Structure 1
Amino acid sequence: MIKLDKQKRILKDSWYPAKVEVKSPKNKTYHFPIYHWITDSEVYCFREGTALRIFDDSNSHVGGHSRQQELKQRQKVFRSSQRRLAAAKTKQSSPKGTANHIGHICHMSWDVYAQGIPQCIKADSIQSLPYDVQFSFTKTAEMKYTAVTGLVELELIEMAELKKKWTHIDDISHLLCAHRTQVTDFVHKHWKEDSLFGYQFLNGVNPMLIRCCKALPKNFPVTGDMVSLHGGGSLADEMMKGNIFLCDYKLLDGVQPNTISRKKQYLMAPLILLQKTSDNKLMPIAIQLKQKPAKDNPIFLPTDSEYDWLLAKIFVRSANFNFYEVSVHLLRTHLLAEVFTVSLLRNLPMVHPLYKLLMPHTRYTLQINVLARQLLISQTGVLTRFAASGGKGVITILQKSLSSLTYSSLCIPDDIAERGLKDVPNFYYRDDGLKLWEIIFRFVKEILTSYYKTDAEVQKDSELQNWIHDIYEHGFLSQASTGIPQKFTTVDEMIKFVTMVIFTCSAQHSAVNSGQYDFGAWMPNSPVTLQLPPPTKKGKASEKSMLDTFPDIQTTVHGMAVMWLLSKQSSDSIFLGQYPEEHFSEEVPCQKIKDFQVELKRLSAEIKARNSGLDLPYTYLDPEVIENSVSI
């Protein structure tokens, strides 16, 4: 151990020691990782960098006491609001934003944002967060700048308060003038085409819903005579061959749509049937916009009139935006990453090998989630003001999503197998994701098996068991139906779960976050809300009824600005495989990190080579653009 204290000064200042190195008289160097802010003149103790499990410290009074004290201090509830306010004022007077050692006054506990959804960190404001988990000065400045200037950068500021309807499709095109990407241009050009509509269920921002369909749901009465198939045999034959796929937004059924500018909005719960064609495209063959079959709920087909079919696809795309933003993006990456982080900070001391492994994958997660609750889903948040699912709808979707969430759906090899998608062509999310999972899995296995040789060692590590139980209890609300482990009994169980944690916080978040602006900047491809109900009869839709159905100008531009903000990385991003904070000091984990980096670099080169031959490259799981943590 070493002790650190900062000299008292008249002017308050902050100190962020990264690490301390001590060379012994026998010329051996000892490494002490710190990576914490210290602002007062108290004395703090830090352990040498060798990772130690709790039973490694069982014979050491000093070591055991150190672990207990560190965790005891971390688990204290937040101080009173007056003391938090005082700390915030102190912070504002410091150069970086004063910060304290996480074990001093930065305590954390669980809080309930809403019943039936994962619990979160107890924090009234950004200032009440532990300083060590707050944004850097660079990140803070860039986030504020992007949030304030988003509409300016997109050259939309003059349109931000226009509550008028769109009167011509070409007017929407002007919104893309300021910031265009290869994907936004492709989407703008091809958005009406069935092939792009089908492609996005595989490689868009929501690749999590589509599944192979071997039997039609009873509430989706599509018949073989009704649909026009792209070659092949009958509908039954195509289902038997594994060429028919289903996307069912049943989770949105019963969600109360929002009211925007005193006008009721519309959110459907559609079912979509798709066919894999002989030229390896995924083409929609039938759409039903509401769950219950009825005369006023027709099944739309590609053979219908142009605007009947196009409007049906637009309702699907709007449902998809609200579904993925809340269930796939917010719940399954942001909120789960926060649960993993809070449990880590409450249950694992710095010297624990799992703390050292996972801490880099928690960077900025707590603050970005506090901001999400304040700025996106609060009563005055952007989703509440401008999305069809805003307000009560968000909480309903979160509750329904968590109650139906399964552990296997968080593990991409299991998920792909369960959805019957192993052989679907041109499924780049699957191809890149499975390779990433295997690389992360090997890395986690090599690190953890160097510390845990037997199942018995896993079982007797009480800190490790507390970590997983806290996740089960506070993240998944003790719902055994999720399949989330309540405890670890084997080394293999631990390795798989930790792999899932890292994959969720890095790769999965990148896959469902980074393409938001690419696929949503052209509003007709991803409307945040719709102002008219769907047609109840065929032959009624027209270009005018489509334009009247779209969100108004104000809602459109604010939706674009949010997607722009959420897709923009900061200049101090840390990408998958990069570990500037050297928590490990032993030779084995340090070498395994280098091996991990080599494998990621090799995969990045493979993805770039593949993308060079694609009209629409899939970049979101390239390790070079995947951040280590949920930080945006």
Structure 2
Amino acid sequence: MAEYKLEVTTGEMPYAGTWDHVFITLFGNEGQSERIELDNYGPDFTKAATGTYIIKTCSSLGKLLLVKVEKDPYLVLSEDAWYCSKIVMTTPEEDVILFPCYRWISRGELVELRGGRAMKVFEEDHPLLTDHRKRELTLKKNLYQWKIMAEGLPHINSFNNESELPDEIRYSDSKSNETLNTEMIIGVELKLKGLYGSVEKWKSIEDMKQIFWYKKTTISEYVTEHWMEDDFYGYQFLNGINPNVIKKCSELPPNFLVTEEMVRPFLEEDSSLEEEMEDGKIFLYDQKKMDGIPARDYNGEPLDVTAGLCLFYLNPEDKLMPIAIQLHQQPSEDNPIFLPSDPETDWLLAKMFIKNADFIDHEAVHHLMSTHFLAEVYTMATLRCFPVIHPLYKLLIPHFRYTIYINTGGRESLFGKNGVLRISSLGYDGMIELMRRALSEMTYSSLCLPENITARGLESIPNFYYRDDGLKLWNIINSFVTAIVEYYYPSDSDVQKDTELQEWINEIFTHAFLRNTASGFPGCFHTVEEVIKFITMVIFTVTAQHAAVNNGQFDYNSWVPNGSLLLHQPPPTTKGESSMETILETLPNVGESVNFAAMTQMLSEKYTDVVPLGAYPEERFDEPAPKQMIKDFQEELSCLSEEITSRNSELKVPYTYLNPTEIENSITI
């Protein structure tokens, strides 16, 4: 007689428990057990509980291969799904084996769990496990299928709405309830104030402070008071929500007709534009990829989006100052160079049109496409190509929690008939074209932060906290990924013969980057180093980069004048004809403004169902080495968090978005 001790843990979320009957069958290389019901005295499988059960067999089953879990109804008429977290098995030989589950099990569903150390496909040594691996991937490829959202964009999942998604990738009940509650509270406040749906124009800038009475942050209040100031305007291109657009300028573009005489008053005394460029003090914002994209119609008339250029100067006080703006790519008499010495509202309007294009570019390209849409491809490829026993599945899947769910619903709420991005200046078609152009130009190095910073010449510009924190995070993530990958792939040949890994990167190359070889993205892996770099990029993108472009949206853009997705009036073509009335006529009306502001609150809100970067509440690795690597990763993140917190205490405008405690482990909102 042999005894197997099972410790079965039920999840902590609401309704995780079950009254149904749960049955277990054990499979070893020397036989299998009978189908046995797990039943102790009193209630079994209650929320957050671990039950201990003994299974007796006539003899040892040898090396334990699989655990089959089945659930039969207790009450025939009602569904009673069960969330099984894990099963820990102690064998007669005193081996302790972890069988991760972390999924909902429905009535009549059969679930087979793999346990023990992570295994690559070429390491399988038993026909039962080889067959199980193939069946698992076949089932997942049938469940998770690709669909084209629009030509030239990353491909998406084939589910039509959130209700079709499998339970294990959907929001938890608490997350769903909190997001719905937040949406309801925002809507009630705006309706009670009579702002929601209003088509009236704002009567004054001051009136916009009534959008939110209670929801404020230290930074949002600072933005409200300082949004017109040039030094704060420049600061935002380094540490606001779109920190990846400016670059060092060593030579003016031939279509940007800035002269020495125009900008000399804004440079250091006795200096010149040429000298400042040589010293690395001149920087350029150039929105040329937006040039020629038609804006949407508004009340029968086309709106305007300016594919503008803005020149910045790093002054002796280390402040990045805008010194010249051209609102269109093609020079003409109707396209003057605006300067800080121009009438105040002319200069303010020019800055607002640059920020309008920048916010559209931020939302469509740097936020949606470069984090959300790419993350969806990484998630889909991981679900389709790696069985749960694969080491890279165990490493990556915590970073894809809720991503398919938020993207599936978000496409409707953002791009749907009344979605906020549809009412932007570009509208749906323009946004799609902008993303299409951006993807065609995207390079692998642009997603790898160290290379991105070097390519833009921003290695030494001061007060660039996104760079400082981001590079430290990149290195910490890279060290963690290096340790895990080298543990499971000791040689390049291990990489080359892992057919599941090669299929994974090929699916990503095909469905994210549309097989664009000029982009530099890999379509296969040859070395361990290539795998480490790519997985570092993936984890950085879905954690740190998403936090950088998402978490500050309320801080910086709930104050609509500082950055709006929609401007009503055409950009100025002459100087000296604008006024504050022109500014108010140009800004969105009341209803549109509150729509945009509400979006920024929803996207920046903090919810209780959060897993911060480096926290892995689901126990998936069974070996001591990767468990220790996770602890080391967490310690490094904790040290960085203390360092950032200390620095921020000295700053007038703290930069918090890349503090590890503020970064989620996956894209969930």
| 1:45 corresponds to | 112
User: Is contact 1:271-1:291 (8 Å) kept?
Assistant: yes
Mapped pair 1:576 → 2:642: no
Mapped pair 1:357 → 2:395: yes
| 1:127 corresponds to | 163
- Larger gyration radius, structure 1 or structure 2: 2
Deviations 1:223-269 (A, max 9, x none): 11111233162101111111000011112112221234555432111
Alpha-carbon distance in structure 2 between the residues aligned to 1:260 and 1:23: 68
Compare 437-446 and 520-529 and name the one that shifted more: 520-529
Deviations 1:99-135 (A, max 9, x none): xxxxxxxx11000011110000001111111221111
Paired AA for residue 67 in structure 1: R
Q: 1:280 aligns with which of 307, 318, 332?
A: 318
Paired AA for residue 541 in structure 1: S
Mapped pair 1:344 → 2:409: no
- TM superposition shift of 1:28: 2.3
Percent identical across equivalent pairs?
A: 45
Mapped pair 1:622 → 2:659: yes
Alpha-carbon distance in structure 2 between the residues aligned to 1:526 and 1:6: 53
Compare 375-384 and 599-608 and name the one that shifted more: 375-384
Structure 2: runs of 5+ lacking an equivalent: 1-65
Alpha-carbon distance in structure 2 between the residues aligned to 1:127 and 1:351: 28
* Other structure's SS at 2:260 match: coil
Q: 1:15 aligns with which of 74, 77, 82?
A: 82
Paired AA for residue 525 in structure 1: N
| 2:39 corresponds to | none
Q: 1:484 aligns with which of 521, 529, 532?
A: 521
- TM superposition shift of 1:151: 3.1
Q: 1:170 aligns with which of 181, 197, 206?
A: 206
User: After the TM superposition, which residues 20-39 of structure 1 pair with which residues of structure 2 at under 5 Å, given as runs?
Assistant: 20-39=87-106
- TM superposition shift of 1:63: 1.6
Alpha-carbon distance in structure 2 between the residues aligned to 1:416 and 1:399: 23
- TM superposition shift of 1:447: 0.7
Q: 2:249 aligns with which of 206, 209, 213?
A: 213
Alpha-carbon distance in structure 2 between the residues aligned to 1:390 and 1:530: 12
| 1:267 corresponds to | 305
| 2:583 corresponds to | 546
Alpha-carbon distance in structure 1 between the residues aligned to 2:385 and 2:254: 47
| 2:428 corresponds to | 391
Paired AA for residue 69 in structure 1: R
Alpha-carbon distance in structure 2 between the residues aligned to 1:133 and 1:160: 33
- TM superposition shift of 1:320: 1.1
Paired AA for residue 26 in structure 1: E
* Other structure's SS at 2:245 match: coil
- TM superposition shift of 1:382: 2.1
User: Is contact 2:267-2:273 (8 Å) kept?
Assistant: no
Paired AA for residue 70 in structure 1: E
| 1:93 corresponds to | none
Paired AA for residue 14 in structure 1: A
State the number of aligned residues: 600
* Other structure's SS at 1:383 match: coil
Mapped pair 1:403 → 2:426: no
User: After the TM superposition, which residues 307-346 of structure 1 pair with which residues of structure 2 at under 5 Å, given as runs?
Assistant: 307-346=345-384
Alpha-carbon distance in structure 2 between the residues aligned to 1:570 and 1:359: 21
Alpha-carbon distance in structure 1 between the residues aligned to 2:260 and 2:601: 43
Alpha-carbon distance in structure 1 between the residues aligned to 2:358 and 2:79: 50
Alpha-carbon distance in structure 2 between the residues aligned to 1:427 and 1:361: 27
- TM superposition shift of 1:515: 0.4
* Other structure's SS at 1:273 match: strand
Mapped pair 1:62 → 2:128: yes
Paired AA for residue 261 in structure 2: D
| CA RMSD across the alignment | 1.2
Alpha-carbon distance in structure 2 between the residues aligned to 1:154 and 1:277: 42
User: Is contact 1:151-1:557 (8 Å) kept?
Assistant: no
Alpha-carbon distance in structure 1 between the residues aligned to 2:524 and 2:434: 28
User: Is contact 1:5-1:43 (8 Å) kept?
Assistant: yes
User: After the TM superposition, which residues 364-379 of structure 1 pair with which residues of structure 2 at under 5 Å, given as runs?
Assistant: 364-379=402-417
User: Is contact 1:49-1:583 (8 Å) kept?
Assistant: no
* Other structure's SS at 1:16 match: strand
Alpha-carbon distance in structure 1 between the residues aligned to 2:204 and 2:73: 67
| 1:235 corresponds to | 273
Alpha-carbon distance in structure 1 between the residues aligned to 2:558 and 2:164: 35
- TM superposition shift of 1:271: 0.3
- TM superposition shift of 1:203: 0.2
- Higher RCO by CA contacts (8 Å cutoff, separation 6 or greater): 1
| 2:288 corresponds to | 250
Mapped pair 1:380 → 2:418: yes
Paired AA for residue 312 in structure 1: A
- TM superposition shift of 1:154: 5.9
Alpha-carbon distance in structure 2 between the residues aligned to 1:185 and 1:535: 29
User: After the TM superposition, which residues 482-521 of structure 1 pair with which residues of structure 2 at under 5 Å, given as runs?
Assistant: 482-521=519-558
Distance change (3 Å), C-alpha of 1:551 and 1:43: closer
Alpha-carbon distance in structure 2 between the residues aligned to 1:427 and 1:401: 24
Query: More strand per residue: 1 or 2?
Result: 2
User: Is contact 1:257-1:267 (8 Å) kept?
Assistant: yes
* Other structure's SS at 2:262 match: coil
* Other structure's SS at 1:307 match: helix
Q: 2:641 aligns with which of 585, 589, 604?
A: 604
| 2:218 corresponds to | 182
- TM superposition shift of 1:33: 0.3
Mapped pair 1:3 → 2:68: yes
- TM superposition shift of 1:36: 1.4
- TM superposition shift of 1:144: 1.7
Alpha-carbon distance in structure 2 between the residues aligned to 1:308 and 1:519: 22
